[in-house]
Structure 1
C-alpha cells in the first residue's frame, strides 16, 4: 500500500505502511476512541487536556513501529522481525477497550478496560477481529495474549507493558504537551536509540542511563502534579457520586432513565453486552448528565449541574490513622442539609514510580535492566542513586472531599460550638489548606 501519514503534535508524522494497521484504524471500535478522552476529568483542571485515546493509541503504535524497525535492522540475531506486525498491532489496540470517562466508570460498574480490549479483539462480530483474521486464524488470540501478558515472547510483552514501554512513553509526552506542562518531557530520541532486545525482554545500553533515569523522574512528576491533582480527583468524585445516585434510584424511576439515558440501562441492570459497552462514550454520558440537571430527584439534579458546570468539591488532606475523626466533618455536612453519602468522599491516589522485580507479588513489575560494557545486566536502581530513592515507595495522599459551600464567607456551619472551617484548619488530625 501507499504509505499513509497522520500529522501528530508529539511525533510529527505517524507512518502507516501496512494495510492491516490502516484497516484497524478505520474500524468502528477504534474510531470510537476519538470520543473517549485520554485524561478523563483532567480537562476540568488543565483545559488543553482534551486529547483522545485515539491519538494516544496512534502514538503508541508509532513508537512500536520505530522500535521494531530499529530492532530488525540492528539486532537481527536477537529480535525476530516476524514479531513486528504483532507488536505494532498490540500497541495500536492496547486501549481499544477503554470505557466512557475511563477509570471513573470502571470503578463503579466493575468493568476492566484490559479485559474489554481482549473481548473486542476476540469477538467474532467485531470489525477488529475480522480484520485480524486476515493475517492468520490464530492472530486475534496472539494479539489478545500480548495484552494479558501471556504471550511467550517477553520482548513483545515488555514493549507493550512494562515500566518503560511504548504506552507510557507516549502518554507522558502527549499528556504533558496537551496540559501545557513540562513535567512529562524526557529524551525520547535517546531512549529509542539505546533500547535493545535481550533474550529475557528489553534492556538499555549503559550510555543511555541518564535518559532512562530522566524518564523515571518525569513519570513521577506527572503523577504528582497532573494525574493526582486535587481538582481532577474532585471531578472524579463528583462523577462517581452522580452515577452512584442514578444507579441507586433506578429501580424506582425506571421510566425516567429509560427516557433520559437509555444506553445506561444495561449497566444499572448489570446485564452488559459488548455492544452495550461500546455504545457509550464521553459525549453520550455528558448528554445524559445535562438531561439529569432537570431530574425531579434533588440530589441527582444537583450533582449533575455540579459536573456540567464544574462546581468542584473542596478537599483536605488527612492521615490514614486519623480517618475515624472525619465523622465529625460528615456530621457538619449533614447538619446543613447535604447527604454525606453523596456529598462527602474519601479519595486515595498512590503510585509506585519504580520497583525491582518481586516474583512473590501477585502483580510484580519487570525491572529495568542496563547492559554493561561486558554484556552483563545491572538493575537500574543499583546504578542510579536518584532512582534508588524512588524505588519501592508509594507516593500520594488521602483526601476528604466535601461541598464548597461548607467554606462560605459567613461560616455558620458549626458542631459542638466549632465551625467547619475551624475543624479543618486547627485540629491536629487534619492538615493542609483546602484546595481546588
Structure 2
C-alpha cells in the first residue's frame, strides 16, 4: 500500500464546535496536521482585531482550516456515493482527486501571517503566495509530507490554491462564490461572535451540490438554501467583518507597526525595543523561515515592550491597541470628503500627529457577482443551478432575492480620529476646549453621519 492510499487503522476524530467531529481517515492528513507549519496556525486568530469587539471570537486559523477540510471531506463522500464518474469525461466525480482536494482544503490558509491583512498591508506580503511557497519549499515539514505521496504532489496541491489545477471541481470546492472555505468561516465566525444571522443550512447545501463537467452546480430544489447562504454572507460582512470599531483597531495596529518601522529606519529605536524578529520585514529582506517565526503572540509581546518606549507616539499607540482604546470614526461620502482637511487641521492643533492619529478607510463587499469575466487572472465562478434534465441556470436569473443584490457593492467610507476630540476628559488642557467644541460642531453642522 502506498503512502497516498494509507488509511489510519482507526479514524481519528477531533471535537469541533461547528461540525461536531472532524474525521481524519488518511495518514497524510494526520501527518500534515502535526507539522510545525500547520500547528503555527493555532497561534493566529481567525478574525484578528474583531476579537476586541466580539469577545468570543478567540478562534484560530487552525480550527478554521480543519473545518474547511471536514466540509471538503463531506463533499467528496457525497460526490463519490451519488455522482461517481462512470466513464472518463462524463462530468462525474473521480475519487482519485480526493486526496488532492483534502490536502488543499486543509492547507489553504497556512500562509497567513499575524493579524493577517494588516500585516500584509504594512510589509507587502501575500499570504497566498507564501502558502504556495510553504507547500513547495523542501525546507518545510509540510512539503516533506506531501512529497511522500509523490514527487509532484506538492505542486499539484499548490495549483489548487493558485486556481490553475486542471479539474475545476477540485478548485471550486476550495475557491468559488460558495465553497468549503467560505461556508466554514461564515458558520465558525457566526458561532464565535454569537451572531445568529450568520448561520445557514450547511447540511442542505451539501446535499444539493453535484459535480458536472465544468465544476460544481446545485440542484434547483436547493435554491432557497443557497439564497440563505448569500444573505448570511451579506449580513456577516456588514455586521462583523466591516464593524467600524474593528476597523478602528486595525488602523491603530497599522499605525503602530508603521511607527516602529519609521523609528527603525531613522535609527531612533532604543536597543531594548528593537523587534528582532520583525527586522527582516523592516529591511524587506525576509525569507520563509523569518515569516514562519511570526504569530500573533510574537507581535503582542513586542507591543507590550513598546508600551514603555521613550517614543511617545509608539508607546501611546501600543497602549491604545493592547488596552482597547479605539479611534472614533465618522462616515463620509463624495459630498463631505472635502471637509476632512479641516478636521485634520483641528486635530493637529491640539497636538496629535495626523499621520498616526487619523486615517481614511473604505470597506466594500460584493455579495454576489454574476458577471463572469474569463479575462481576469482568477475569475469568479457563477453559482449554477441544475435542472433535473441537466440544464444549468445562473442563480440570479432564477432568484429574485439574489437578483436584487447582484453586482451591488455595499459598505462605507470612514474617517478615523482620536476619541479625545469628542470627549477630551477632565485632564485636557483648558486652552484646547474651544477647538474640541469646534470639532464637534463642525461634524454636526456639516451633517457628517454620527460618529461611532
Q: Compute the TM-score of the two structures, normalised by the length of structure 2.
A: 0.93
For 1:293 and 1:392, the matched residues in 2 are separated by 45
Shift of 1:362: 4.7
Aligned to 1:17, which of 17, 20, 25?
Answer: 25
Alignment counterpart, residue 127 of structure 2, candidates 113, 127, 134: 113
Superposed displacement of residue 325, structure 1 = 2.1
Whether 1:153 and 2:167 are equivalent positions in the alignment is yes
1:389 and 2:404 correspond: yes
Gaps of 5+ in 2: 1-7, 86-91
**Aligned runs of 1:39-54 on 2, under 5 Å?**
39-54=47-62
Alignment of 1:26-425 (within 5 A): 26-77=34-85, 78-253=92-267, 256=270, 260-356=274-370, 357-408=372-423, 412-414=432-434, 419-425=438-444
- What's the TM-score once normalised by structure 1's chain length? 0.96
The answer to whether the 8 Å contact 2:263/2:269 transfers is no
1:236-291 CA-to-partner distances (Å, cap 9, x unmatched) read 00000001111111023476367542101111111110000110100010010010
CA distance in 1, matches of 2:433, 2:337: 21
Q: Is the 2:190–2:197 Cα contact (8 Å) retained in structure 1? A: yes
Runs of 4+ in 1 over 6 A off after TM superposition: none
In structure 2, the CA distance between the partners of 1:257 and 1:235, relative to structure 1 (3 Å rule), is: farther
Say which is worse superposed, 384-393 or 257-266, in terms of deviation. 257-266
- Structure 1 residues 217-246: Cα deviation after superposition (integer angstroms, max 9, x where no partner): 000000000000011000000000001111
Q: In 2, are the aligned partners of 1:336 and 1:413 still within 8 Å (CA)? A: no
Partners of 1:71 and 1:124 in 2: CA distance: 33
Unaligned runs of 5+ in 1: none
Alpha-carbon RMSD: 1.5
Alpha-carbon spacing, 1:362–1:127, altered in 2? closer, same or farther (3 Å): closer
What is the deviation of 1:323?
Answer: 2.2
1:5 and 2:13 are equivalent in the alignment? yes
8 A contact 2:12–2:23 mirrored in 1: yes
Mapped to 1, the partners of 2:106 and 2:369 lie a distance apart of: 26
**CA distance in structure 2 between the partners assigned to 1:403 and 1:331 by the alignment:** 13
Q: Tell me the number of residue pairs that the alignment of Structure 1 and Structure 2 aligns.
A: 432
Residues 113 and 413 of structure 1: CA distance in aligned 2, closer, same or farther (over 3 Å):
farther
Deviations 1:196-216 (A, max 9, x none): 001000000011000000000
